Structures are given as C-alpha cells and as structure tokens.
Structure 1
Amino acid sequence: MQSSRTPMFSKHMRYRYIYRYTCVLFIVFSSLWIIFHCNNNCQRILSNDESFGTYEIPNIVHFITGQGDASESILDQFGPRLGYRRLERASGEFHLINYLVLLSARQQIKPKQIYLHYSFEPTGYWWLKAKQDRQLNLTLVKIPPITSIYNHPLHHHAHRSDIARLEILDKYGGIYLDLDVLVLKSFSKLLSNSYQVEAIFAWEDKQYNTICNAIIIAPIHSKFLRRIYQSYQSFNSSCWACHSVFLTGQLANIYQNEVYVLPSKAFFTPSWSHIGELYLYNKYNFKNNYACHLWNSYIGKEFLHNLTINSILKPTRMTTFIRMIHHAVGKEKLNSIAREFS
C-alpha cells in the first residue's frame, strides 16, 4: 500500500517544487524587467510614497537649471515647438538676469533656504558669483538627469524641468520659481495657505483656461501636483505647453477644491502677448504683482541674455522691466554688484 502511494506523493511534491521555482523565477525576472524599464522611465513619486502631506507650506524656494537637452537631430525631429519655431537647446551659461532673479527671491520672500537644483553645472561669471554670494546663501543640489517619464522620452530641458519641479515639490514642498521670474513682494500671505489647498498657481490666461507652471506653491506630497504628474502618461514631446499649461488648467477646473488659482496679474502680467508693456514702455503699475514672469522662452535673446549692470543702473530709456529690477533687488545691491564687476 505504501509503495503504491510513494510515486504519487513524489510526483505531487515535484509539481509543487516546480511551481515554487516558477513563481520565484517569475518574481525575479519581473523585478529585473521593472528595474530595467523603469530606470528613469516610470514614475518616481508614487512608487516610493503614496501618502499625502498637510496643508503647511514651508518657506523655502526652489530653482532648477542645467537639465541638458537631446542632440540637435533629435530635437529637430521630436523637440517641442513654439508656434512654427523649434525651441532651442539651453546654452549652459548662467546669465546676469538669473542671478538677479535669485537675489529678488532672497530680498522679497526672505526664505529659510534657497535650493538650486541642477544635473549639469552651468558656466559663466554670474554662476560663480551666485555660488560665492554669502548674502544669497544658495544650497546647491545635484540631481540625476531626468530623460523620460512613463516611458516617454524627454528631449528638451524645459520638459525635463517640468518633471523635476513636480518631484522636488513633492519631496520638499515650498515655492518653485523659474529662473526668469522676478519676485516683487513677499509671498507670506500665500504661504499661510488660508485657502487650505494642495497647490497655488495663477492663471496665465483665464479666458483660455491656461495655467503656467513657472510659479508653483505647494505643501509636500500635494495631491494636485501628483495628478499633474500622472497626466504625463499621455505626454507628447513635440507639444511645448500641452501638460505644463493647458492640461494643468483643465485639471484645476476639475479639482477646484484642491487648488487655488490667482488672477494673472499675480505672476503673469504683463503677458507675453503684451511684451512691449514690460520691455519697451514704462507705464505698467506692478503693485498687485507678487512676481513677474519675464518670458525668456519668447524674448530672452532680445532683452535678457545681453543685459548688463550698466544698462540697469544707467538705462538709455526707463522701462517697466528696469523699474522692476530696481525695486526687486534694490539700488544698494545693484551698486554693490557694479563696483565688484568693474
């Protein structure tokens, strides 16, 4: 009797071991597949922490630079376009306006810390100046290059920065500012988050439901910012602002209880479509602006990249832009920079 059961028992055990080994191999190979395919490809926020934070917004400021670009040939084929113009690669040089933007954040917001995140270190006099400025007191953070999201390649530095800012705010919370955002007054009222929301933005154009991500204020683990992040599953690399502007506006209309959207004049007036009000004339009253986006992607070469201390302190023609710099940074600091630069 026993001898008749033994072969059946052995066969049964053999199948059990085969099943176990198959499961183990499946788990191992699945893990290797995930690691291989999700290394810098899959989402990096929710995979590590699916909790949500509080409504408290820390008084810290984040900037991003040095994200790098794909090759010219890749950008020609797949890169984003602004109208009919393909957006150019970043030069890698840190400009005077970028340094002044950092100073304006320190002067007006008075944050506990200013983080400058980069993957590839910028170059130039003003980069060295910013790093050595004790009053500015930057905290430099080198981050791994972000070259894809949800298996979609990120060819352009602006799109890579779009992802980086969401990941950084998820981790730290605080204020994110583009390096062409001049801060004009304190953000203390916004940081108090009396609206009890997951994120604070401003309309770029309320009529078209567009929200620019050049300025984002949020607590850590913001539910709304994670919604934006997850929306990149449908990312299109050739579209300049589909996710960062248009889709963000749509999400804000859907999840109105999670986000507070300020009027355009808080950050984005004068607009890119009225650029003369900023750079050619001197009539705009910016008392209602918390900050002003300077629209570097549109007119950086014409008005920003060749800016000098002398043209700020002794302009041939006073403009709203120059007046904003005087207010945001302060004449004393500007004169100090001029003395050191001469």
Structure 2
Amino acid sequence: MVTVAFRYVRMVILSALFFAYLLFPSLYRIGDYVRQTNPWSGQKYVELAFSPIQAELACLYGHPIPGADSHYRDEHGVQVSTARTNTTAVTEPIPNIVHFIFGLQNPLRNPQAGHFDFLCYLAVRSAIVSLRPDTIYLHYTYLPSDHSNNNTNVDDPMNNPWIRRLSKHIRLIHHPPPATDNNNIQYSHLSDMMRLQFLLEKGGIYLDMDAFALRSFHDLLNPPAGRDVVLGHEGGNRWGLCNGIMAARPNSTFVSRWLASYEHVDFSREWNYHSVRLPKKLAGLHPSEICALAPDAFFWPTWTWRHVHWMHEELDTNTTQFWQEKIDRHGGSLFGNQVAYHAWSQMAWDRHLSGLTPEVVRRKDTRFNLLVRQFMEEDL
C-alpha cells in the first residue's frame, strides 16, 4: 500500500514538474509583467510625460544655448564661440564617424553572448543610411556566424553573412580578449569603458548594437564650444543620461573625467550607476561641458514593459497609415525631435526582437518595423 501511494505521489510530482516546464515561458512572462507594471515598480516615473526645455532643443538643433555662450559660424562654416570672458574659440564639429562594439565574449563558451545577427545588421545599416558617416568602425573580439560550431567561424568575421553584406561600408577593428577571459569579467562594463576610450581618442558617434539612427545628426554634431559631448536623458523623469547613444569631440574633458571614474570600481556591486546615473551627476557638476538632450531625442519610448509593447504591438490598417505618415513627415522618426531610437534589447529580446527576420519586418506592421524597414536592402 505504501509503495502504491509513493508511486502515485511521485507521478503527481513528476507530472507537475513536466507541466511547469511546458508552461515556464508563459509563467515567466506573466511574472515579469507583474514585476514591471505593479504600482511599486517605479516604471510610471520613467514613463512620465515631459516637454523639452530650451537648452535641450538648442543642443539638438545646433543653436546658441539661452543664457550660456553665444556662437556663430565664420565664412568657412566653422563654429566660433564667444564666451562671457570676451575671448573667442574656434571649435570643430564632432567628427561624423561611428563606433559600434560587438562580440567581447566568446560565444562558443558563453552562448548568451549572442551572434551578429539581423538586428545588428539593421543597426549598422541605419547608421549608413541616416548618418552618411565618413567611417564606421565595428570594434570586435569575436564575430561568429549565426550557426558557427567551430573555432574557424569565430576567427573569420567574413563567415558571418551579415558582416559580408556590410563589409564595403565598415572598418573591422579587432581587439584581443582580456588577459583573464573568464566569467568574472563584467563585459558590459568593459564595453562602457571601451566606448569612452574610442570617443576620447577619435571622437565621433557611439551607437549600441540595438540603437538605430533615424535621421541625420548634422545639427547636434555642432554643440557650442566647450560642450564637447552630447548625451540624451533616459526616462520622462530625466533620471539619468544614458551611454547607449553618444557623440563627442576628441579629447573631451567630460569624457576624460567620466572614464577616469571607472578606476578601482567593483562592478559586481552595481549595474547602471556609471553608465546612466554618474553622467547625470557629472553634468550637474560641470554643466558647461555637456549638451544634454530631452528623452525623445534618443531614448523614447523607454525600456518599460508598456513602452516596449507599444513599439512592437501589431497595428491595424488605419493605425499603420497614421504612423507611416508621421514617419514620412518627420523624415524617418516617430516624433519631431527624435533622431534615434534605442530598442532596449535586454527588455525586448525574448518577447519581440528575437523573432525578427527580414520577412517579419516587411510583413508585420508594428511601429518598430515601420521605423527600420527603410534600412533593409531590397534583396532581403
């Protein structure tokens, strides 16, 4: 009798575990939804409505900042700033070059590192089409193809079909792996430091691999003298300045100070302090060194559950027409002051981005797909 009861209990437990396994993705999504949308999550503050202030609009459109330094362009188109000290300084524009970083982790040992895929291709294509840069640098350590199963593909980027498509428009810059390539390295923070180093040395534009340039950056590449870095606020409450999209002149004092702050930091104890909150703090301490943009320039909609869903929900015919007309009217963006969109892959990958293919982007009408279709080559 005991044996029969034991077998019955074991069967019930195994059945429960089996069904839990089958339902895990749905249960996980439900739990994630509740975690993110409950009244105590704080996401409602990130989603707060906002209005750009004059200084933010001046930085976006290359105008003098009210109450700050005035500037004009000479007969050669070079910006000249007249500071309150009655001295003049000739300031070159931010270089129209683009930096991407990908593949710092070995995907053969760290499958979660991902591959240079269709979404990455679209991000680089957006820079090619919208920014028309002098150079695009793709900094990498590993660039395997989607289906690599041997070390050859890791070593040769041209085995990746998306890299082959982009190869005429990009310069591949290989960086050797860290001396101690192990699981203790915080690769996200390594990427944070590398992007600042590249901007400090060469200047230009930095874009995350899930960031899409929607329109020209021409105006914002001409910030007033001394304001050598352009960052965008994250969140309607402007709680931070995000490093996912940046532009800077070489040798920026602000970037140098920011990079120096990474020394002697235990990154296992923090997530986004140095990448979002610290630059906001530094901007408050050194406001004359930075041009800060309103949230809708780079980082709106945000990473919250509702905003991500809004970007990827399927649209009916009338709504599609409404947003397509807006995109056409704004020259490629959803909103009048938007020049880029960060797709927040950490929040959107499982639910939306992982399933994107050329066919899905062309066929399915979502706000995100409407934005990025313009970057697909015709033979895809």
Of 258, 277, 284, which aligns to 2:310?
277
Match of 2:370 in 1: 323
Letter in 2 for 1:322: N
Contact map agreement 2:121 2:166 (CA 8 A) in 1: no
Q: Which 4+ stretches in 1 moved above 4 angstroms?
A: 69-72, 281-284
Partners of 2:123 and 2:176 in 1: CA distance: 24
Match of 2:245 in 1: 215
1:309 matched to 2:358 = yes
1:59 matched to 2:91 = no
Match of 2:171 in 1: 139
Match of 2:348 in 1: 299
Name the CA shift for 1:169/1:154 in 2 (closer, same or farther; >3 Å). farther
| Superposed counterparts of 1:151-166, under 5 Å | 155-166=185-196
| Superposed counterparts of 1:96-245, under 5 Å | 96-124=118-146, 128-133=160-165, 137-146=169-178, 155-194=185-224, 196-205=226-235, 207-233=237-263, 235-238=265-268, 239-245=270-276
Partners of 1:261 and 1:89 in 2: CA distance: 36
Partners of 2:294 and 2:263 in 1: CA distance: 29
SS of 1:111 mapped into structure 2? coil
Deviates more, 1:224-233 or 1:189-198: 189-198
Letter in 1 for 2:246: I
Contact map agreement 2:107 2:115 (CA 8 A) in 1: no
Q: Deviations over 1:19-71 (max 9, x none)?
A: xxxxxxxxxxxxxxxxxxxxxxxxxxxxxxxxxx9653111000000111799
State the percentage of identical aligned residues.
31
Partners of 1:319 and 1:168 in 2: CA distance: 35
The offset of 1:92, in angstroms, is: 3.6
SS of 1:233 mapped into structure 2? coil
**Structure 1 vs Structure 2 CA RMSD:** 2.8
Partners of 2:143 and 2:107 in 1: CA distance: 16
Partners of 2:161 and 2:108 in 1: CA distance: 29
Match of 1:35 in 2: none
The offset of 1:301, in angstroms, is: 2.3
Name the CA shift for 1:69/1:159 in 2 (closer, same or farther; >3 Å). farther
SS of 1:133 mapped into structure 2? helix
SS of 2:98 mapped into structure 1? strand
The offset of 1:240, in angstroms, is: 1.4
Letter in 1 for 2:312: Y
Letter in 2 for 1:336: D
Name the CA shift for 1:229/1:135 in 2 (closer, same or farther; >3 Å). closer
SS of 1:298 mapped into structure 2? helix
TM-score by length of 2: 0.62
Partners of 1:279 and 1:156 in 2: CA distance: 30
Unmatched segments (≥5 aa) in structure 2:
1-89, 148-157, 324-333
The offset of 1:336, in angstroms, is: 1.5
Q: Deviations over 1:110-154 (max 9, x none)?
A: 001110001223332797233323685110001133579xxxx97
The offset of 1:196, in angstroms, is: 4.5
Letter in 2 for 1:214: G
TM-score by length of 1: 0.69
Name the CA shift for 1:260/1:298 in 2 (closer, same or farther; >3 Å). same
1:256 matched to 2:287 = yes
Match of 1:10 in 2: none
Partners of 2:184 and 2:279 in 1: CA distance: 18
Deviates more, 1:269-278 or 1:100-109: 269-278
Partners of 1:201 and 1:277 in 2: CA distance: 24
Partners of 1:55 and 1:206 in 2: CA distance: 32
Partners of 1:90 and 1:187 in 2: CA distance: 33
Partners of 1:237 and 1:100 in 2: CA distance: 31
SS of 2:138 mapped into structure 1? strand
1:268 matched to 2:317 = no
Name the CA shift for 1:183/1:127 in 2 (closer, same or farther; >3 Å). farther
Match of 1:13 in 2: none
Partners of 1:123 and 1:155 in 2: CA distance: 24
Unmatched segments (≥5 aa) in structure 1:
1-52, 73-87, 338-342
Letter in 2 for 1:268: F
Name the CA shift for 1:308/1:127 in 2 (closer, same or farther; >3 Å). farther
Name the CA shift for 1:205/1:69 in 2 (closer, same or farther; >3 Å). farther
Name the CA shift for 1:92/1:123 in 2 (closer, same or farther; >3 Å). farther
